[in-house]
Structure 1
Amino acid sequence: MKEFIKNWGIFFVLAALFIALRIFIIVPVTVNGHSMDPTLADGQKLITYQLSNIERFDIVTTKEPDDLDKLAVKRVIGLPGDRVQMQDDVLTINGEEVDESYLEPYQQEFAEDQLQSAYSYNPAFQEIAENADAFTSDFTYVVPENNYFVLGDNRLISKDSRAFGFVDQSMIEGEAVLRYWPLNEISTMR
């Protein structure tokens, strides 16, 4: 028995550490849908870190409050206690204007052709874009304690806190830290 432990003990310890790491700390996730276009595309694969301290603009995986079986990938916009407002495609948080440069590619396409070319794969999305007055509809919310306000980057078609409400802290599964698929698009999420 001592010989077996001597030869295989390290292997079993490493395997147990890997399994614990995979179950409790690092979780792979597949992006499902187009709500995070163009930042993240449908079918891309991410690594999420479950022990992260969630900050504004982090991309997170969260259960949807209106359907706890669904896991969504969204961007944190409002932290607990924040007053979040969108007016004429300008985001303000607690009265301060906030730059959302990650939205520029789709905002520019919206200005050019109301995203008709970007949405050529889906006539329903084209119709939504064609009838939209702004890339992000106006809103004002005050985020309750222990909750977050999340949005998809593809604001016209994203189902997010504007539809399903605030996300309780306990529903956030982790922060997306790495895109690992497709291989030619491997990158960190910062």
Structure 2
Amino acid sequence: MVSSNSKKEFVGWGKSLVIAAGMAALIRTFLFSPYIVEGASMEPTLHNQEKIFVNKVYYSSQFTRGDIVIIKGSTENYVKRVIGKPGDTIEMKDDQLLINGEPYKEAYLSENRKEAKSIGSKLTGDFGPIVVPAANYFVMGDNRLKSMDSRNGLGFIKQSEIIGKSEFVIYPFSDIRTVK
């Protein structure tokens, strides 16, 4: 036999669990969410099968050059680095990125650039100049030899297609780190 106090306690716990589950769903849908990196397009910054924590509140008008973002594709999501913002003129000449006519240093590419030179190749082929349209972004993967991005398939990324900004790697636990 169950007393009325036990029933009230059971109902109270049930309500608490429903509220907690609802809050978790809202947070995951609108604020923060984990994503799994698939493929090698962002190596060595991000590796295949790493889980990253994505901030969905990071308003697209605040995306800065160098941010790593999750992009909603028609059948899958992509993780890429923001290179060009609306109105920027982007050009690649002799493996040097030019933004609005000025050289832009990409320190995160040093390891991949060495690998490309070792096989007698440029890391990034020449292109441009191209102008990024309003409300769009130009993105590239860090592993330029193995990345489908704005240069070769994804095209310009609409502001509305960006899900959020990657904040840090949460798995594997031995590699927890912020994403820069």
TM-score (norm 1): 0.82
1:55 aligns with 2:64: yes
Task: Give 1:152's aligned residue.
Answer: 141
Which of 34, 41, 56 aligns to 1:35? It is 41
For 1:72 and 1:7, the matched residues in 2 are separated by 40
1:172 aligns with 2:178: no
Aligned residue identity for 1:137: G
Deviation at 1:18, TM superposition (A): 1.4
For 2:20 and 2:147, the matched residues in 1 are separated by 41
* Corresponding residue SS for 2:76: strand
1:139 aligns with 2:127: yes
Deviation at 1:12, TM superposition (A): 3.3
Aligned residue identity for 1:136: T
For 1:24 and 1:84, the matched residues in 2 are separated by 32
Deviation at 1:99, TM superposition (A): 0.9
Deviation at 1:13, TM superposition (A): 2.6
Deviation at 1:44, TM superposition (A): 0.9
Structure 2 residues not aligned, in runs of 5+? 1-6
Aligned residue identity for 1:187: R
Deviation at 1:15, TM superposition (A): 2.6
Structure with bigger gyration radius: 2
TM-score (norm 2): 0.86
Q: For the aligned residues, what is the CA RMSD? A: 1.7
Which of 155, 175, 178 aligns to 1:185? It is 175
Task: Give 2:3's aligned residue.
Answer: none
Moved over 3 A (4+): 1-12
Change (3 A) 1:3 1:184: closer
Identity across the alignment (%): 41
For 1:147 and 1:98, the matched residues in 2 are separated by 20
